[in-house]
Chain A
């Protein structure tokens, strides 16, 4: 499985409101290479999630275009991309189906889209769970598991569909620091193994630098690309690099870029856009 090449070209999204239309995203251009782990960082309300939604097909765009491997996802004449298993989203809050076991959850897409029988899908799911060391919980229900394990299951569920792009919308938000760093390493392990294109949204700068191949800083609303920073740290990444000077430099670089935007957003009193 190889990741897809995702190209956003001057993407814009305007909302019509009671008053003047409000631009959430404007003139956003980005080229995410195949197999790249690209992180988008920005202050609250800058439109990161809107962008993700546009790529996933949940919302439409009002200008520009998005292409995946040279196929048009959405653009002129086709405002909304189809929702499909080539781009799978992992949300902030768990969307595992509480009434299905872990194995059935992971196999859900295989049954829904590829028409496998439930038994076959569960078998494949169990295999995948085994590979990442989660074989024991195959028959548990999500409600019985800790949030960290749930997140890993959810990411696995997405990857079982062999998507071209994996979209992660602040997936580790709200987790405590210890669980979070464990999740980072789990994600990197999966990433190194599956080589899928990842679009990762966060507002945690250290997380961005630790995980990303490249980091894009987004401006406040209307969101556009402020700058993109190459993270030239070797993979596989080790927790130890956090104190390394180059890591800290990169974090500083990203911080500076973000700080301006964050202050601007703060002054204007923007609130997080309600999803």
Chain B
């Protein structure tokens, strides 16, 4: 159409076809974005101030934000690790791989065990006390036994990570089964469902919210244990990188690894949340919250 066309120009831009308002509620941050940025800015600002500008005595050894960022994005980093170096990704992959293996194992052992503990009171009476006796033992206290059992560093680190996640997943699954209204189960049985059908069609879907909470918590503690394990006994991995950078006085790399850990940890939890919201799509559509 030529610019001289006499067609009226619409006052408002046409909305893209097919986009309906998101049913999910928006994150608390969105309307308060400026404040959030302010808060983050203040934090980074303090960091910058105390280290780079004022160079306070205590803070002398700590790398400042400019140094860290410069190092992180530099194609030729002074301390050997940046987004352009292969070793960076090798470390990330080493850690991610360990968590993935451990977490998957925890998922496949913890959920069934949690379901069984929740479902059969007889089994729970026999098995739960043992479970609860072992649980308070800090995961890292298992390091020596893990080394004895698995002989390799890799195996023991993965085992530690597995233990931490396993407990969280099992416990929350158990809670999930108990959270189900007894009448739901009775209703299902009235409608002709046998015990296995009830398990499959009522207990498992009904426990899903708790199970996913357990998975998120499990992921969090998995990373916790992984880092500890890597710092003590690992080769490669982000935890190892932190430790090694410290001993070789490559301080900016420490912070780079820390931030990376934060990002990867966050991403993994977000992934779980995402899968959960897909599986439990019905929740988003309920009246009220």
Contact = CB atoms under 8 A, between A and B. Distances in A.
A140 B193 CA distance: 23
Interface of B: 181-184, 186-194, 197, 201-202, 205-206, 208, 280, 282-283, 285-287
Contacts of A88: 190-191
A89 B287 contact: no
Contacts of A95: 181, 183-184, 186-187
A98 B190 contact: no
30 contacts: A56-B186, A83-B189, A83-B190, A84-B190, A88-B190, A89-B186, A89-B190, A91-B183, A93-B181, A93-B183, A95-B186, A95-B187, A97-B201, A98-B283, A99-B205, A99-B206, A99-B282, A108-B193, A108-B201, A109-B191, A109-B192, A112-B194, A114-B192, A143-B285, A143-B287, A145-B287, A158-B191, A161-B191, A161-B192, A275-B182
A113 B191 contact: yes
A162 B62 CA distance: 75
Interface string A77-101: 0000001110111010101011110
Interface of A: 56, 58, 83-85, 87-89, 91, 93, 95, 97-100, 108-109, 112-114, 140-141, 143-145, 157-158, 161, 275
A26 to B, nearest CB: 24
B191 A108 contact: yes
A91 B184 CA distance: 9
Q: Is the interface of A mostly helix, strand, loop or mixed?
A: loop
Contacts of B194: 112
A107 to B, nearest CB: 10
A12 to B, nearest CB: 22
A144 B182 CA distance: 22
Contacts of B286: 98, 141, 143-144
A17 B287 CA distance: 42
Nearest to A101: B282
Contacts of B186: 56, 58, 83, 89, 91, 95
Contacts of A109: 191-193
Contacts of B202: 97
Contacts of A97: 184, 188, 201-202, 205-206
A116 to B, nearest CB: 11
B25 to A, nearest CB: 14
Given A91-B183, A97-B202, A99-B205, A112 B188 contact: yes
A58 B185 CA distance: 11
Nearest to A115: B192
A172 to B, nearest CB: 16
A143 B201 CA distance: 18
Contact of B201 (A87, A112, A161): A112
B194 to A, nearest CB: 8
A144 B188 contact: no
A140 to B, nearest CB: 8
Given A89-B187, A112-B201, A144-B287, A98 B192 contact: no
A145 B285 CA distance: 10
- Find the residue from B184, B192, B287 having the highest chain A CB count within 10 A: B192
A85 B184 contact: no
A112 B185 CA distance: 13
